[in-house]
Amino acid sequence: MTWEFSTEPEFQSQLDWMKDFVEEECEPLDLLWYDLAYAPHPPWLRAAIQPLKEQVKQRGLWACHLGPDLGGPGYGQVKLALMTEIMGRTRWGPVIFGCQGPDSGNAEILAHYGTEEQKAKYLQPLLDGEIKSCFSMSEPHGGSDPTRLRTRAERDGDEWVITGEKWFSSMARAASFLVTLAVTNPDVHPYRGMSMFLIPGDAPGLEIIRDVGTAGEPFGTGAHAYLRYDGVRVPADNLLGPEGEGFVVAQTRLGGGRVHHAMRAVGTCNKAMEMMCERALSRETANGVLADKQLIQQYVAESFAQIQQFRLFVLYTAWLIDQHGSAAARKEIAASKNLAAKVVHDVVARAVQVHGALGMSNETPLAQMWIEVPWMGVMDGPTEVHAGTIARQVLKEHRAAPGQWPTRWIPARLEAARVKHAVALATRAEHERPA
């Protein structure tokens, strides 16, 4: 039996290096250029970050989301989760380590389904950090629900013609290519009638209606585009995976991606927890410091327990993927994503409260963490949808009671127990009979 809660020394040394590197090199980038991490990088910024990327590559830690069969180091989900926990403490961390979304997931799709020509043109430059990409799935009327897609892709000779609108297509303006999900057969179940396509970023007919930002960004700015596909034509070879299997292709990127989101959430929570404890021990109040107050101690205790429970569950999910694949871990992946939203909300809220007005200000990272709390409940599918997935998967493992009463109904089980141990009951009765 193998049941480990430790990391092999060689890889632990890599993680230790990462912790120092992220704090010393990535956190300053957050302070100076937080909003540029996922934007097109001008030459002066590339000159500043390229040496950092080279250090990561020299350590063999670049683009670790790909397995050896796909050109990556093959660390697997557990090691990648431990790395992501550290990177998740900063916005720039995943960018410097070459595994930022949406590029990491798109790289997996290209590695699995792209032609050799497409890999040479797009995949290798993407892995090298030379270009950016976009995942274009959500639509204005139906959000991320794939059964509500209206964007159509129709075959015309040796080309596909794509028409429709997409919403919140992150990084579209800077993308050299987009990975787009569209309906190819509206007459079958949606999960069998969608296909995935590779769309060049400069394809004729591809229009950015406007850029969409998130909370705090000026209207009309941001990295999430509202797109229109107006008869966009691509070669037949730009179909990624079999026709009608777009939903399956999408899962190539979404399973591991949700685990990475969850472990980045652990990194965020760890940072908030450290700040909360430091503040509690430092902030003087009546008759001592905040850490002496029972309510603050409860904040610390509950946060510690939540983070550890969540972290271990996500690592177990990563282990399950490594052992049996994403399909076998479907409910655990959904649960990881579902839990992330609540844990981040709870821990960050407590940390803000302990800091008081300072926690609400723009002079600590906490306010930005709080602004980003709702993201965890929406990105890669809303929490409510994942809850439904969990429930359906769990209920498949159970069955209805065969009769009127539950199988644990005590009167029936008591009668069965009496029959099973009739001899012992009779013997006891004989011994207890008055002389």
Q: What topology is assigned to 9-114 in CATH?
A: Butyryl-Coa Dehydrogenase, subunit A; domain 1 (1.10.540)
Most distant CA atoms of the chain, gap in Å: 103
Q: What is the pLDDT of residue 408?
A: 94
Whole-number Å distance between alpha carbons of 173 and 196: 20
The domain locations on the chain are: 9-114, 132-240, 248-396, 404-435
Q: How much is the pTM?
A: 0.87
Listed residue (271, 277, 253) closest to 26, CA to CA: 271
DSSP bridge pairs for 135: 179
The answer for residues whose C-beta is within 8 angstroms of residue 101's C-beta and 6 or more apart is: 94, 170, 257, 260
Question: Could you name the CATH architecture of 132-240?
Answer: Beta Barrel (2.40)
Cβ-contact 107, 175 below 8 angstroms: no
Q: What is the pLDDT of residue 255?
A: 63
Whole-number Å distance between alpha carbons of 18 and 55: 11
Tens of pLDDT along 210-261? 988 887 778 878 888 999 999 999 999 999 999 999 988 887 766 667 888 8
Whole-number Å distance between alpha carbons of 88 and 94: 7
DSSP 179-205: EEEEES-TTS-HHHHEEEEEEETT-TT
Residue 203's Cα: distance from chain center in Å?
29
Tens of pLDDT along 328-345? 899 999 999 999 999 999
- Each of the 435 residues of the chain gets a pLDDT tens digit; together they read 567 788 899 999 999 999 999 999 999 999 999 988 887 788 999 999 999 999 999 999 988 877 766 666 778 889 999 999 999 899 999 999 988 888 888 988 998 899 999 999 998 888 877 889 999 999 998 877 788 899 999 999 999 999 999 999 988 998 999 999 999 999 999 889 999 999 999 999 999 999 888 877 788 788 889 999 999 999 999 999 999 999 888 877 666 678 888 999 999 999 999 999 999 999 999 889 999 999 999 999 999 999 999 999 999 999 999 899 888 899 999 999 999 999 999 999 999 999 999 999 999 999 999 998 988 888 878 888 889 999 999 999 999 999 999 999 999 999 999 999 999 999 998 888 886
The CATH number assigned to the domain with range 248-396 reads 1.20.140.10
Sign of CA dihedral 78, 79, 82, 83: negative
Tens of pLDDT along 288-327? 999 999 999 999 999 999 999 999 999 999 999 989 988 8
144 DSSP 8-state letter:
T
